[in-house]
Amino acid sequence: MYSDRALVIGAGFAGLLAARVLSESYGDVVLVERDEIAAETEHRAGIPQAHHPHTLLARGAEVLEALFPLFGAELAAAGAVRTDLGSDVLTRLPAGWAPRDPAGLAVPSVTRVTIERIIRRRVLKLPNVSLVDGVTIDGLLHDRGTVTGVHGRRGGRSFTDYADLVVDASGRTTKLVSWLAELGVHCPAPMIVNSHLSCTSRLYHVNRDLKLDWKLAREATHAPSTRRGGSVSSVDDELWFVTLFGAGGDVPPTDEDGFLAHAASLECQDIAEIIKTATPASEIHRADNLRSRWNRYHRVPNWPRGLLALGDAVVSLNPLYGHGMTLAALNCADLRDLLKDHDLAKEPLVFQRAVARTAQLPWTSATTADLGWSQKKLPRGTRFRQWYTRRLVEAIPGNPQVHRAFLRVSQMLDHPNTLYRPAVLWRITGRIMRRTPGRVLLSGRRPRATER
Ligand SMILES: Cc1cc2nc3c(=O)[nH]c(=O)nc-3n(C[C@H](O)[C@H](O)[C@H](O)COP(=O)(O)OP(=O)(O)OC[C@H]3O[C@@H](n4cnc5c(N)ncnc54)[C@H](O)[C@@H]3O)c2cc1C
């Protein structure tokens, strides 16, 4: 044990995982949360994104299993639907349908509410972790360059608490930059990339007699031409999540008719068919302004001792690519590793640099795609990556090997460099040289799952 007390601001996804990790090094770990929550709470104001599907990437599932043994089994018992990303998924791409060969890569399809509830239950059972809820943190307490605690409000009363280490896990709406400014610590302007993405989502009960040979049907937006997208996925046993995307300012509507019309305008008609035949199980919810933002705390030379930041509070990404929870989990894996050799309360920048290193790949992949909506002249490296990714996506229909390589990188299991290996490269270049337009070849045929 380095010292006694750690305090985590925010009991969301990253905060809960951070508390789990800190419980190994600190005698007393306190989660301070604005919402009033009990272990079994479902929807709450602080997590509006829980009204939208949350894909847990294969890499994130691995990290969660290491932190919470038998986590996957617990998710399955709660109704998570095991989905093979090849054979169980119907993916519509601009150039046609992705192959349906088994990818050997299965992820649990589950709501955000269920994931968080299972993690919260496990974390709050730890003997040295406690939750103080209904408290809004408004700033940091400090003493000569060291953060010593937090201050805030609980109901109409003021709240203060002290700790050897304070961790900001307050998510996308973090106020940390202004709290640091009050301490005389100034951060570089955040990097922001905005594809002006919005999404609307609704849960449904699907008629059990409907014989579907897939568990997830989807069509993504693709800059600069495909502004609309959507997906429908089987989640939590009996429920199906429909979500519709609009990029570049094409906002999917929240009224019944508009919702269906947006889905019907997609090539993947399966989404509209589900909406027409299924029974709604929730309201239609919209999320706007889903930009990517990176607070570069690792570049702040006078970053105070006693303070760390992780999760969306540092890097929040366009959720279209499903990186957010996995990145937060990877932050906590780094935290666990670094705590073995470092007193991070004294060396916080060691951690913030690790957060930055881990964020680099998902940031580059999400923003490279999103910069395709930008009218600005982009650096040559970004333009090359955009060009190559477009060629890669065009090559996926009819190319199971390219599809598998793409899936493994999208699931953060393999480094993006694997997409430049000869086996992938020659399939892409071969296709370019033959100048085969995939749309003409493949767009009409909707694939069935191949034998498992
Ligand atoms: C529409 C949408 C869809 C998404 N889909 C996916 C997906 O498919 N896959 C994926 O991996 N990720 C997805 N994400 C991202 C994912 O939700 C986040 O990456 C993840 O929740 C980050 O966890 P966090 O703990 O950093 O923040 P959060 O989970 O948002 O938690 C922040 C917590 O801090 C609390 N809080 C905030 N301010 C204060 C304060 N001042 N005092 C006390 N408490 C405070 C909040 O109440 C909340 O409990 C999506 C996001 C959105 C918006």
What ranges do the domains of the chain cover? Answer: 3-54+113-191+292-362
pLDDT confidence tier of residue 443, bands split at 50, 70 and 90: very low
Kindly report which listed range (4-8, 26-30, 346-350, 438-442) carries the lowest average pLDDT score.
438-442
pLDDT band at 308 (very low <50, low <70, confident <90, very high): very high
> Three-state DSSP class for 75?
helix
435 has pLDDT over 70: no
Neighbours of 245 (CB within 10 A): 28
Which mutation among 20, 47, 54 tests ligand 1's pocket best, with the greatest number of atoms within 8 A of CB?
54
pLDDT at residue 288 is higher than 70: yes
**Which of ligand 1's atoms lies nearest the C-alpha of 112?**
17
The pick from 170, 235, 321 for probing ligand 1's pocket by mutation, whose C-beta has the most ligand atoms within 8 angstroms, reads 170
What average pLDDT does the structure give for the chain?
A: 93
Give the pLDDT band (50/70/90) at residue 211. Answer: confident
Given a contact cutoff of 8 angstroms between Cβ atoms, the answer to whether 405 and 414 are in contact is yes
Query: Distance between CA atoms of 158 and 154, rounded to whole angstroms?
Result: 6
Whether the bond between 224 and the residue before it is cis, its omega within 30 degrees of 0, is: yes
Over residues 340-367, the pLDDT tens digits come to: 999 999 999 999 999 999 999 999 999 9
Residues with CB under 6 A from ligand 1: 9-15, 32-35, 46-47, 49, 52-55, 136-137, 169-171, 173, 199, 287, 290, 311-313, 319, 322-326, 328
**192, β-bridge pairs:** 293
Q: In which band, very low, low, confident or very high, does the pLDDT at 209 lie, cut at 50, 70 and 90?
A: confident
Among protein residues, the one whose CA lies closest to atom 50 of ligand 1? 319
Ligand 1 atom with the shortest distance to the CA of 310: 26
Mean pLDDT for the stretch of residues 111-120:
96
Q: Which of 18-27, 144-153, 171-180, 368-377 bottoms out in mean pLDDT, i.e. has the lowest?
A: 368-377
Handedness of CA 113, 115, 118, 121 (dihedral sign): negative
**The CATH number of domain 3-54+113-191+292-362, selected from 3.40.50.300, 3.30.460.10, 3.50.50.60, 3.40.50.11290:** 3.50.50.60
* Cβ atoms 26, 4 nearer than 8 A: yes
- The residue whose CA has the least distance to atom 16 of ligand 1 is 324
**Atom nearest to 116 CA in ligand 1:** 29
Helix (H), strand (E) counts: the chain: 13, 21
Strand partners, 167: 8, 308
pLDDT of residue 39: 72
Give me the residue label for tokens 């272990």: 39
Q: Which of 31, 36, 112 to mutate to test the pocket of ligand 1 (most atoms within 8 A of CB)?
A: 112
Most confident of 202-211, 218-227, 335-344: 335-344
Residue 439 has pLDDT above 80, yes or no: no
Q: Minimal CA–CA distance to 12: which of 41, 319, 307, 26?
A: 41
Q: Does position 386 have pLDDT exceeding 90, yes or no?
A: yes
Q: 368-407 burial, b for 16+ CB within 10 Å, e for fewer?
A: bbbbbbbeeeeeeebeebbebbbebbbbbbbbbebbbbbb
How high is the pLDDT of residue 434?
67
Mean pLDDT of 131-157: 96
Atom 19 (ligand 1) nearest CA: 324
Count of C-beta atoms within a 10 Å radius of residue 289: 9
pLDDT at residue 451 above 70? Answer: no
DSSP string, 305-331: BTEEE-GGGTEE--GGG--HHHHHHHH
Alpha-carbon span 74 to 125, nearest angstrom? 15
Record the tokens describing residue 326, joined without a space.
């996995």
> What's the Cα-to-Cα distance from 2 to each of 164, 351, 353, rounded to whole Å?
9, 16, 21
Indicate if the pLDDT at residue 437 is higher than 90.
no
Confidence band, pLDDT 50/70/90 cuts, at residue 442: very low
The mean per-residue pLDDT over the stretch 384-409 comes to 94
Average pLDDT over every residue of 11-36: 98
- Of 267, 268, 269, 223, the residue nearest 246 (C-alpha): 223
pLDDT score of 224 more than 80: yes
Q: Quick one: DSSP state of residue 126?
A: S
The predicted-structure confidence for 65-113, as pLDDT tens digits, reads as follows 999 999 999 999 999 999 999 999 999 999 999 999 999 999 999 999 9
Residue 396's nearest CA partner among 431, 356, 367, 446 is: 431
Global pTM value: 0.94
For atom 39 of ligand 1, the residue with the nearest CA is 170
